[in-house]
Amino acid sequence: MTTVNTNQVSQDILDAVNKKNSSKGSNVDEAQDRFMTLLVTQMKNQDPLNPMDNAQVTSQMAQLNTVTGINKLNETMSSLISSVQLGQSYQATSMIGHSVLVSGNNLTHAEAGGYFGVNVPNGADTVSVNIKDGAGQIVRTLSFGKQEVGVNALSWDGKNNEGVVAPSGNYTYEITAKIGDTTTTSSPLSLAQVQSVSNSTSGIKLNLSNNTAVAVSDVVEIF
């Protein structure tokens, strides 16, 4: 009679439990089947005078339950994440066609000026804006009065400092906010339209009319 002289469960059983399977769907069941087949085979061929240690078997059974439990949890979480992302994608599509304020200092001008914004966490008594063309030259300096704490929408009529309509195109701007004579914290905000929604590995992205893509969480205000 062939016997296995051991006081512990074979390493083959551990390998069977922990073995990674690239196929989907039945990993957990296959691991259980492999474990039980090897365990039963080993018990049939054990030395009656030197049987397997019950504590060892119990320990390996507990490890199997842990591994299969983790596998099932991983599969459940993957399914849940996919469902959440799909739901977020559907929700994000409702923003298509809407204008949003996001961090940035780009301004598109089509002979009618444009809108932009500023975030002043501490508020401001005055806000000065320098609008620059593609060459970095200032074409218009705008002055605004008191701004409330938080996000404030601003606009440019599209004219330069001489009162002439500036050429259509892409512009940038710099913002300086002051409380009294002291410069305070401020952040420029660009206005763009949501044109489409993408579901990437990094999450849901909004594709904007200014050729940028932002996360939904980056949107400061929706119009």
| Each residue's pLDDT tens digit, 69-112 | 666 666 666 665 555 555 566 677 888 999 999 999 998 888 77
**Which pair of tokens denotes residue 144?**
């605004």
> What confidence score (pLDDT) does residue 113 get?
79
- Claim to verify: residue 25 and residue 67 sit in the same structural domain: yes
Considering the domain boundaries, does residue 205 fall inside one?
yes
Considering the domain boundaries, does residue 123 fall inside one?
yes
- Claim to verify: residue 64 and residue 15 sit in the same structural domain: yes
> What confidence score (pLDDT) does residue 164 get?
94
The last residue of one of the domains, among 93, 110, 140, is 93
Considering the domain boundaries, does residue 1 fall inside one?
no
- Claim to verify: residue 150 and residue 169 sit in the same structural domain: yes
Considering the domain boundaries, does residue 6 fall inside one?
no
Considering the domain boundaries, does residue 133 fall inside one?
yes
- Burial class, 40, CB count within 10 angstroms (exposed 0-12 / middle 13-18 / buried 19+): exposed
* Tally of CB atoms within 10 A around 161: 12
Question: Can you give the C-alpha Rg of the chain in angstroms?
Answer: 33
- Claim to verify: residue 28 and residue 113 sit in the same structural domain: no
> What confidence score (pLDDT) does residue 210 get?
86
The last residue of one of the domains, among 32, 63, 93, is 93
Considering the domain boundaries, does residue 5 fall inside one?
no
- Claim to verify: residue 84 and residue 31 sit in the same structural domain: yes
- Claim to verify: residue 89 and residue 105 sit in the same structural domain: no
Q: What is the mean pLDDT of the chain?
A: 78
pLDDT band at 203 (very low <50, low <70, confident <90, very high): confident
Domain total in the chain: 2
pLDDT band at 126 (very low <50, low <70, confident <90, very high): very high
Domain span including residue 135: 96-222
- Claim to verify: residue 55 and residue 70 sit in the same structural domain: yes
* Tally of CB atoms within 10 A around 73: 10
Q: Do 108 and 89 meet the contact criterion of CB atoms below 8 Å apart? A: no
- Claim to verify: residue 15 and residue 123 sit in the same structural domain: no
- Claim to verify: residue 72 and residue 153 sit in the same structural domain: no
- Claim to verify: residue 26 and residue 55 sit in the same structural domain: yes
What are 42-77's pLDDT values in tens digits?
Answer: 666 655 556 555 666 666 666 666 766 666 666 666
- CA-CA distance, 90 to 197, in Å (whole number)? 9
Considering the domain boundaries, does residue 4 fall inside one?
no
The model's pTM: 0.59
- Claim to verify: residue 157 and residue 123 sit in the same structural domain: yes
